């Protein structure tokens, strides 16, 4: 992406364009992450399912195929693995990286810190103590000497920003991390973080990873405007609303919790979904592809994170790159899924 505007790096509204570079044999396009110089494919690989839902062998096949498709941002977290064991996902990725073949050099490796990793009082949060220890543990599991994008998995309201940035700066000086990112932050948390970083002459956050889809568009009120102001690239997860915007019937078999959630979504958005499916038919595109293409066309969005359970789902995830929504289609989608009608405070004040 190319940033445009006048002003310093913390006082500019950034507008981005796609970079035309493609990987030979793929249709992947790339964008810069916020005001940083690093480029990532517009579809990223999320690894949430590696371990609990997807076997290690199938995870390896998915990662190998992701490289072939031109996907270079691999996103994980130190707690992924969940019921299979926290850290299991990083371990699977580490074993894949250890196979060599230039795998490590071909990807932008992202993981996260914040969630509770043990039973101790300092086994979670964003204290300098936990950040540094958690980073070392992730490096061991990932079998690498550095993390490209180290993301705060949640805001820590109890730890001062001076301490957080001290820890990140230490890790950067040690060569253990390159960039800092955030996830699940509100707009004012991003402002807090960036202003504290500026006071320490640090580059601060380059990316914010957030839930964003046609059903849930709250991000437009403050997070997206804050990201554009500070030059923070947005990495979107949940574009299909856990399958609701793709094929709800397919997810009914995933257990009682999934069925209960689908029932709630149908009660809230059933009429919208029916209108949406009709609109996608008129556009000649699958609902899943339209939902993801819509997210990719929102200002400031660097990439969408696909979280496949199977190789087939990975293949499906890049089909959105073939869908370009014109102004009329975007207006029609706004009519079906209205959203907050603009940024704050206008979204709720007038």
pLDDT digits (tens, 9 = 90+) for 213-249: 999 999 999 999 999 999 999 999 999 999 999 976 6
**Predicted pLDDT of residue 5:** 34
For the chain, the domains span: 30-242+286-324
- Residue 154's alpha-carbon distances to 21, 168, 212, 307, in angstroms, are 33, 15, 16, 19
Is 13 a residue whose pLDDT tops 60? no
H or E, element range at 210: strand 205-211
Tokens read off for 126: 């964003």
The verdict on whether 150 is a catalytic residue reads: no
* All residues at 6 or more sequence positions from 334 whose CB lies less than 8 Å from its CB, including other chains: none
pLDDT higher than threshold 90 for residue 56: yes
Please enumerate in sequence order all residues whose Cβ is within 8 A of that of 218, keeping only pairs 6 or more positions apart, or say none: 340
User: What tokens does 16 get?
Assistant: 């981005």
Q: How confident is the model at residue 95 (pLDDT cuts 50, 70, 90)?
A: very high
Q: Is the pLDDT of residue 20 over 60?
A: no
Which architecture does CATH list for 30-242+286-324? Alpha-Beta Barrel (3.20)
pLDDT at 9: 41
Alpha-carbon separation of residue 310 from 24, 45, 58, 243, 286 (angstroms): 24, 12, 7, 14, 19
Give the active site residue among 14, 16, 30, 80. 80
For the cut 50, the answer to whether the pLDDT of residue 11 exceeds it is no
Q: Decide: 206 and 36 in contact? Cβ < 8 Å.
A: yes
Q: Is the pTM of this model over 0.75?
A: yes
The residues with which 45 forms a beta bridge, in sequence order, are 74, 306
Distance of alpha carbon 92 from alpha carbon 130, whole angstroms: 23
């Amino acid at each position: 992406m190319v940033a445009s505007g006048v002003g310093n790096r913390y006082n500019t509204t950034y507008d981005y364009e796609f970079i035309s570079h493609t990987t030979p044999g793929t249709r992947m396009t790339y964008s810069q992450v916020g005001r940083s110089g690093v480029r990532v494919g517009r579809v990223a690989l999320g690894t949430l399912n590696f371990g609990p839902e997807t076997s290690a062998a199938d995870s390896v096949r998915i990662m190998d195929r992701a490289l072939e498709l031109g996907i270079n941002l691999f996103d994980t977290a130190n707690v992924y693995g969940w019921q299979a064991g926290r850290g299991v996902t990083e371990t699977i990725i580490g074993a894949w990286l250890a196979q060599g073949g230039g795998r490590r050099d071909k990807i932008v490796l992202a993981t996260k810190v914040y969630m509770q990793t043990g039973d101790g009082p300092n086994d979670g949060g964003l204290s300098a103590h936990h950040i540094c220890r958690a980073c070392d543990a992730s490096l061991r599991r990932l079998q690498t000497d550095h993390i490209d994008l180290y993301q705060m998995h949640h805001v820590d309201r109890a730890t001062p920003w001076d301490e957080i940035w001290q820890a990140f700066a230490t890790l950067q000086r040690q060569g253990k991390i390159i960039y800092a990112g955030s996830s699940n932050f509100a707009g004012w948390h991003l402002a807090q973080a960036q202003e504290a970083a500026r006071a320490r002459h640090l580059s601060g956050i380059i990316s914010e990873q957030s839930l964003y889809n046609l059903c849930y568009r709250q991000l437009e009120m403050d997070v997206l405007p804050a990201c554009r102001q500070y030059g923070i690239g947005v990495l979107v997860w949940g574009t299909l609303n856990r399958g609701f915007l793709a094929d709800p019937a397919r997810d009914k078999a995933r257990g009682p919790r999934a069925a209960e959630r689908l029932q709630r979504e149908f009660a809230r958005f059933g009429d919208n979904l029916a209108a949406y499916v009709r609109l996608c038919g008129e556009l000649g595109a699958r609902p899943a592809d339209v939902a993801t293409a819509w997210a990719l066309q929102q200002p400031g969005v660097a990439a969408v994170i696909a979280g496949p359970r199977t190789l087939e789902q990975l293949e499906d995830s890049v089909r959105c790159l073939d869908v370009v929504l014109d102004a009329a289609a975007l207006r029609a989608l706004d009519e079906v899924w209205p959203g907050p009608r603009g940024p704050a405070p206008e979204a709720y004040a007038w």
